Amino acid sequence: MKKVTGLGGIFFKCDDPQGMNEWYARNLGLATSEYGTVFEWRQADNPAKKGATVWNTFPQSTDYFQPSAKSFMVNYRVENLVLLVDELRKSNVTIVDEIAEYDYGKFVHVLDPEGNIIELWEPKEEAVQPNQAG
């Protein structure tokens, strides 16, 4: 079974998220909004399929990374999140929450052995229509 299929996002805490977004926009050219930025790409083995990697800043006070005390979180793209969570439970991996489903996919959070929070994301499939390719 495939597990991680790619990097879904990088999230980190900072003292001034808006200021950081502005710095990255001004100095590194990221097209930022209050939700960071999205890097869109196409899958190498199937260019008709789109993908995205998100970069986002969070305030120091966020509880989104809990129970981790770390200032960052990595989001990994996965296939078949339900089956993967079952396998992780069998391996005694700490599952932080229940699988949540949104319009853009399924999510769950787990902890690695050093207490780093990891977000696992099974994105909804997006195939490009022939007239949209390019």
Per run of 10 residues, the mean pLDDT along the chain (length 134 residues) is 86 95 93 91 87 94 94 94 95 96 95 94 65 35
Which of 120, 30, 27 is closest to 73 using CA atoms?
A: 120
Locate all alpha helices (DSSP H) within the chain, ordered by sequence.
17-28, 81-90
pLDDT tens, residue by residue, 100-125: 999 989 999 999 999 999 999 999 87
Domain count, the chain: 1
Q: Are strands 72-78 and 117-123 parallel, antiparallel or unpaired?
A: parallel
Say what the pLDDT of residue 76 is. 96
Kindly state whether residue 59 falls inside one of the protein's structural domains. Answer: no
Quick check: is 44 in a domain?
no
Which structural domain range is residue 3 located in? Answer: 1-32+78-97+112-129
Upper half-sphere CA count for residue 104 (Cβ side, 13 Å)? 9
Structure confidence at residue 133 (pLDDT): 35
CA 28 – CA 116 distance, rounded (Å): 27
Within-domain flag for 84 = yes
Answer whether residue 71 is part of any domain.
Answer: no
Examine residue 60 and state whether it is found in any structural domain, yes or no: no
Asked if the structure places residue 8 within a domain, the reply is: yes
CA–CA gap between residue 49 and residue 38 (Å, rounded) = 16
pLDDT of residue 32: 94
For residue 110, give the nearest of 73, 63, 71, 56 by alpha carbon.
73
Residue 72 placed within a domain: no
The pTM score is: 0.84
Residue at 9 is within a domain: yes
